[in-house]
């Protein structure tokens, strides 16, 4: 028998092995100052392209005022306990009612965290006879939710409706044997590459197959659709989404989340979501803050218009300069470059130190080896000047990448890591 920690001493995992080179800079960086388009990183001013504050609400004076007043009135504890036991309030109910109305569903239920909330939603929706069919590139919270399932599950190729159809055929055969049903799970917007889930085509399959659809619309809520109600609204299929999920961690610039569905389904879920039944309710400060943010999303369409003005300028500017931004159909703006992890590190350092641009960097194992993904999140706070400066910086780093500058600068890291 071996000591449980032995494997940890030997192997830090695919990302953890980079800790000594990366921590504090590439991972766990500390962005300082007020949340905005320009913040400070290690004392330097940077244009920030890595914060999911799509609508610029995080630091909006009206939002800050309500947050501060709610904190003054309630502190950060109230209400104590789980919703079911002692943590329920009128304002939780009001928020649910308003969220349901906003996303055109009969009812909604507020969750203390999105990650745990959607895991429990998946867990509560299926029993062991049921079959889950989900996109292979689904967010970790969906994968973890599926892990709780005691029955069969199939993945379909990323956003590939033909593959979904094949898997639905298999799932249907299996469900006929087990006597169970089928849950299909997609995202409204895939947060890494920015494609919208092909919801329209997925719901069209309901004519042929019997399944229910759960959509995680973390990045679509507030950013897509005529009113900002998300990817379902954008694609005209909101009614065919059986269970709609969104977090408050992005457009709402807060903490918490919600699910929305028919009344009877929400009534069932609120008695069966383990991560909510056995965990503290969302505190009032956040509930009041969410009501304010939702009101602003509803009544200030200029926030979304500003966001899209920046998205369009950034994405078209990148394309005009010949950058590969993949197949994004949302605000999420990926830029794909070719290079090793050490090269990616040198490139990002150049971007931050010499160009004052802060964006997230994604490498293997999240994306295939040899690719570097610079992921940018435009917001309503950004300006066209931010976009212009960023485009110029990107042209410069691409030139240095192609001429081998970063390879030379990172040779010692490559050698040390055996890359
Ligand atoms: C697609 C997606 N689903 C769920 C979550 C989890 O939400 P939360 O941060 O509220 O736990 C996230 C991250 O915020 C996400 O990107």
Same domain, 242 and 288: yes
Give the position, in ligand 1's atom list, of the atom nearest the Cα of 255: 10
CA 245–ligand 1 middle distance (angstroms): 10
Domain that holds residue 100: 61-295
% of the chain surpassing 70 pLDDT: 99
Same domain, 382 and 320: yes
Among 245, 262, 295, identify where a domain stops: 295
Spatial distance between the Cα atoms of 232 and 197, rounded to a whole number of angstroms: 9
Same domain, 257 and 291: yes
Among 265, 295, 325, identify where a domain stops: 295
Instruction: Spell out the residues 6+ positions from residue 42 whose beta carbon is closer than 8 angstroms to its own.
Output: 25, 30
CA 144–ligand 1 middle distance (angstroms): 12
Same domain, 275 and 306: no
CATH number where 314 lies: 3.90.1150.10
Same domain, 89 and 206: yes
pLDDT digits (tens, 9 = 90+) for 215-249: 999 999 999 999 999 999 999 999 999 999 999 99
CATH number where 254 lies: 3.40.640.10
Query: Across-strand partners of 184?
Result: 133, 213
pLDDT digits (tens, 9 = 90+) for 258-316: 999 999 999 999 999 999 999 999 999 999 999 999 999 999 999 999 999 999 999 99
CA 250–ligand 1 middle distance (angstroms): 8
Same domain, 184 and 254: yes
Nearest residue by C-alpha to atom 7 in ligand 1: 114
**Residue 203 pLDDT grade (very low, low, confident, very high; cuts 50, 70, 90):** very high
Residue 227 falls within a domain, yes or no? yes
Same domain, 350 and 235: no
Same domain, 22 and 139: no
Alpha helices (H) in 148-280, listed in sequence order: 161-178, 199-204, 231-234, 263-270, 274-277
Q: Does the bond joining 365 to the residue before it have cis omega, within 30 degrees of 0?
A: yes
**Residue 411 pLDDT grade (very low, low, confident, very high; cuts 50, 70, 90):** confident
Same domain, 176 and 239: yes
First to last CA, the chain: 33
230 lines ligand 1 (CB under 6 A): no
Q: What are the percentages of helix, strand and coil residues in the chain, rounded to 5?
A: 45, 15, 40
Q: Is the pLDDT of residue 417 over 70?
A: no
Number of domains into which the chain is organized: 2
Mean pLDDT of 81-105: 98
Alpha helices (H) in 321-366, listed in sequence order: 341-355
Residue 56 falls within a domain, yes or no? no
Spatial distance between the Cα atoms of 118 and 214, rounded to a whole number of angstroms: 10
Give the model's pLDDT for residue 363. Answer: 84
């Amino acid at each position: 028998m071996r000591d449980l920690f032995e494997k940890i001493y030997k192997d830090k995992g695919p990302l953890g092995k980079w800790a000594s080179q990366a921590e504090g800079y590439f991972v766990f960086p500390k962005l300082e100052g007020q949340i905005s388009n320009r913040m400070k990183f290690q004392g330097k001013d940077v244009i920030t392209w890595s914060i999911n504050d799509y609508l610029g609400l995080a630091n909006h004076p009206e939002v800050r005022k309500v947050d501060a007043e709610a904190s003054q009135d309630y502190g950060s504890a109230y209400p104590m306990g789980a919703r079911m036991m002692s943590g329920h309030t009128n304002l939780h109910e009001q928020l649910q009612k308003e969220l349901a109305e906003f996303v055109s569903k009969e009812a909604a239920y507020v969750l203390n965290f999105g990650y745990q909330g959607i895991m429990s939603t998946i867990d509560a929706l299926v029993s062991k006879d049921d079959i889950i069919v989900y996109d292979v590139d689904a967010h970790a919270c969906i994968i973890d939710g599926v892990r709780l399932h005691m029955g069969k599950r199939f993945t379909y190729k990323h956003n590939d409706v033909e593959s979904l159809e094949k898997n639905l055929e298999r799932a249907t055969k299996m469900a006929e044997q087990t006597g169970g049903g089928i849950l299909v799970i997609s995202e409204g917007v895939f947060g890494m590459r920015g494609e919208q889930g092909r919801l329209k085509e997925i719901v069209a399959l309901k004519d042929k197959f019997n399944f229910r659809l759960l959509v995680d619309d973390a990045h679509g809520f507030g950013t897509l659709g005529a009113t900002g109600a998300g990817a379902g609204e954008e694609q005209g299929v909101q009614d065919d989404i059986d269970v709609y999920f969104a977090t408050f961690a992005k457009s709402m610039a807060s903490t918490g989340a919600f699910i929305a569905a028919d009344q009877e389904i929400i009534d069932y879920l609120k008695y069966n979501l383990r991560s909510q039944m056995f965990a503290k309710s969302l505190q009032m400060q956040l509930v009041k803050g969410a009501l304010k943010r939702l009101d602003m999303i509803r009544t200030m369409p200029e926030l979304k218009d500003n966001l899209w003005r920046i998205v369009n300028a950034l994405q078209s500017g990148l394309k005009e300069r010949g950058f590969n931004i993949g197949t994004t159909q949302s605000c999420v703006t990926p830029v794909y470059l070719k290079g090793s992890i050490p090269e990616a590190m040198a490139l990002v350092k150049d971007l931050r130190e010499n160009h004052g641009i802060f964006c997230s960097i994604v490498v293997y194992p999240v994306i295939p080896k040899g690719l570097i993904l610079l992921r940018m999140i435009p917001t309503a706070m950004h300006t066209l000047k931010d976009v212009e400066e960023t485009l110029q910086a990107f042209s410069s780093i691409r030139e240095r990448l192609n001429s081998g500058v970063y390879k030379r600068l990172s040779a010692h890291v490559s050698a040390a890591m055996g890359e």
